[in-house]
């Protein structure tokens, strides 16, 4: 695993794609989606230019992030005569990069790939760190590979077409990265999430969040230890997402609830300043509102999802709490009941 993929960051950078990295000698196999191709297809094709071998558009709904999607990419690649010195370009959100990156990992036993993320979440998170995966009926991201892209190009201008709800979802993930890994950045961003959502400009915190993830992944590429801190807010967040059938709430909305609750639990069990925990909760309230209203703590479905998560997590996956911004701690004994109790209290605070 080489987690340190070269990164190009800048508005308008997509136009420079052809000169941005040291590409292998061959041609580009473009993987994107209908929606992303509709809004930015001409731009990426123009940026790739004459080296384009073929293009495939996959369905980028979460329920289609499956082995069948990977198979369709493999079929198209073989049909196009893909060779070892060709490379995949993943152009889309996290669904596209997870599927395309995994296809690149197995095509001809692994060819290079480049990520050009088009959602804020994919820029901050999914395209960084070399994890690729598809879902299995039994759970999310169960089938995949560590296969780092050979380059990541981030052009925030591509976000101009992104729906507000998706932009907001990405902001939550940025805030998470800063809270676990960049105390100054987290402090600077506190009070700024709503403003960033309105102005649609999160360039500075986005870059800071990428640096946090790169640093953590660089030290623990295979998630044997420290990398787990990036799951802050995700134990309960994943349960709420599952409860909503992965359609009702965005990932960021569910994780916003998980982070607000993790903040409360952090004040109780990990020594996080209580006033700061309240500020974090208030900061996230507008982002968490729909999910926290929808996620009834008494619902058996949430408890079931939390139980499943606990079973799946053997000894290795403890819960992440914060001692302070930039100082995450792993806590072993946080059961589903603690998360549900925290959810009840955050709910009472947010839903008036």
Residues 228, 251, 281, 347: which is the catalytic one? 251
Task: Check: CB of residue 274 under 8 Å from CB of residue 190.
Answer: no
Residues 65, 227, 281, 347: which is the catalytic one? 227
251 an active-site residue? yes
> Considering Cα of 217, then 25, then 42, then 71, what sign does the dihedral take?
negative
- Give the integer Cα–Cα distance in Å for 213 and 199: 24
Residues 22, 109, 224, 315: which is the catalytic one? 109
State the minimum distance, in angstroms, from the CB of residue 78 to ligand NAD. 25
Task: Check: CB of residue 105 under 8 Å from CB of residue 116.
Answer: no
242 vs 340, beta carbon nearer ligand NAD: 242
Residues 62, 187, 223, 226: which is the catalytic one? 223
227 an active-site residue? yes
141 an active-site residue? no
State the minimum distance, in angstroms, from the CB of residue 37 to ligand NAD. 9
33 vs 338, beta carbon nearer ligand NAD: 33
122 vs 229, beta carbon nearer ligand NAD: 122
279 an active-site residue? no
Please list, in sequence order, all residues whose beta carbon lies within 8 angstroms of the beta carbon of residue 123, skipping any fewer than 6 positions away: 117, 154, 156, 159, 170, 206, 210
- Give the integer Cα–Cα distance in Å for 94 and 6: 18
Strand-pairing partners, residue 152, are: 7, 115
125 vs 182, beta carbon nearer ligand NAD: 125
216 vs 267, beta carbon nearer ligand NAD: 216
Residues 40, 234, 281, 347: which is the catalytic one? 234
Residue 21 has φ and ψ, to the nearest 5°, of: -135, 165
Q: Which two tokens stand for residue 325?
A: 């911004």
Residues 27, 65, 168, 213: which is the catalytic one? 213
Residues 40, 57, 131, 228: which is the catalytic one? 131
223 an active-site residue? yes
Residues forming contacts to ligand NAD in the complex (CB under 6 A) are 33, 35-36, 39, 60, 62, 65, 92-96, 98, 118-119, 121-122, 125-126, 129, 131, 141, 158-159, 161-162, 166, 169, 251
341 an active-site residue? no
State the minimum distance, in angstroms, from the CB of residue 210 to ligand NAD. 12
- Give the integer Cα–Cα distance in Å for 23 and 43: 19
181 vs 342, beta carbon nearer ligand NAD: 181
Residue 285 CB neighbour total at 10 angstroms:
18
Task: Check: CB of residue 262 under 8 Å from CB of residue 347.
Answer: no
131 an active-site residue? yes
Rounded to the nearest angstrom, the gap between the alpha carbon of residue 8 and the centroid of all alpha carbons in its chain is: 18
State the minimum distance, in angstroms, from the CB of residue 158 to ligand NAD. 5
Task: Check: CB of residue 65 under 8 Å from CB of residue 33.
Answer: no
79 vs 141, beta carbon nearer ligand NAD: 141
- Give the integer Cα–Cα distance in Å for 172 and 281: 12
231 an active-site residue? yes
- Give the integer Cα–Cα distance in Å for 271 and 322: 8
- Give the integer Cα–Cα distance in Å for 24 and 40: 24
Which helix (H) or strand (E) is 324 found in, with range?
strand 319-324
- Closest CB to ligand NAD belongs to which residue? 94
Task: Check: CB of residue 37 under 8 Å from CB of residue 59.
Answer: no
Beta strands 139-146 and 131-136 are antiparallel
268 an active-site residue? no
Which residue blocks in the chain are alpha helix, DSSP H?
Answer: 34-48, 67-79, 94-106, 120-121, 164-181, 183-189, 193-199, 203-219, 234-243, 251-269, 274-294, 300-312, 336-350
Please identify every residue annotated as catalytic. 109, 131, 173, 213, 223, 227, 231, 234, 238, 251
């Amino acid at each position: 695993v080489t987690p340190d993929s070269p990164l190009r960051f800048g508005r308008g950078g997509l136009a420079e794609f052809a000169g941005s990295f040291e590409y292998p000698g061959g041609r580009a196999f473009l993987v994107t989606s209908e929606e992303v191709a509709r809004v930015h297809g001409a731009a990426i094709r123009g940026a790739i230019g004459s080296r384009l071998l073929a293009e495939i558009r996959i369905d980028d709904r979460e329920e289609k992030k499956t082995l069948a999607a990977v198979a369709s990419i493999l079929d198209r690649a073989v049909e196009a005569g893909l060779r070892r010195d060709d490379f995949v370009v993943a152009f889309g959100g996290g669904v596209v990069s997870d599927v395309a990156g995994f296809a690149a990992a197995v095509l001809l036993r692994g060819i290079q790939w480049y990520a050009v993320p088009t959602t804020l979440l994919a820029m901050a998170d999914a395209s960084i760190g070399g994890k690729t995966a598809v879902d299995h009926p039994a759970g999310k991201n169960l089938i995949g590979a560590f296969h780092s892209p050979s380059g990541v190009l981030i052009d925030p201008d591509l976000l101009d077409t992104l729906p507000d709800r998706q932009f907001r979802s990405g902001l939550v993930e940025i805030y998470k990265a800063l809270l676990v890994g960049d105390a100054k950045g987290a402090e600077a961003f506190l009070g700024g999430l709503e403003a960033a959502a309105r102005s649609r400009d999160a360039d500075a915190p986005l870059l800071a969040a990428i640096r946090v993830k790169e640093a953590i992944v660089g030290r623990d590429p295979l998630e044997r230890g420290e990398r787990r801190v990036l799951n802050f807010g995700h134990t309960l967040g994943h349960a709420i997402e599952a409860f909503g059938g992965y359609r009702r709430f965005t990932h960021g909305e569910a994780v916003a609830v998980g982070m607000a609750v993790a903040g409360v639990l952090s004040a109780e069990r990990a020594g996080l300043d209580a006033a700061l925990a309240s500020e974090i909760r208030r900061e996230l309230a507008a982002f968490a509102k729909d999910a926290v209203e929808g996620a009834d703590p008494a619902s058996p479905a949430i408890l079931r999802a939390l139980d499943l998560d606990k079973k799946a997590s053997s000894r290795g996956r403890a819960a992440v709490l914060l001692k302070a911004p930039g100082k995450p701690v792993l806590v072993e004994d946080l059961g589903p009941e603690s998360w549900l109790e925290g959810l009840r209290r955050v709910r009472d605070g947010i839903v008036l």
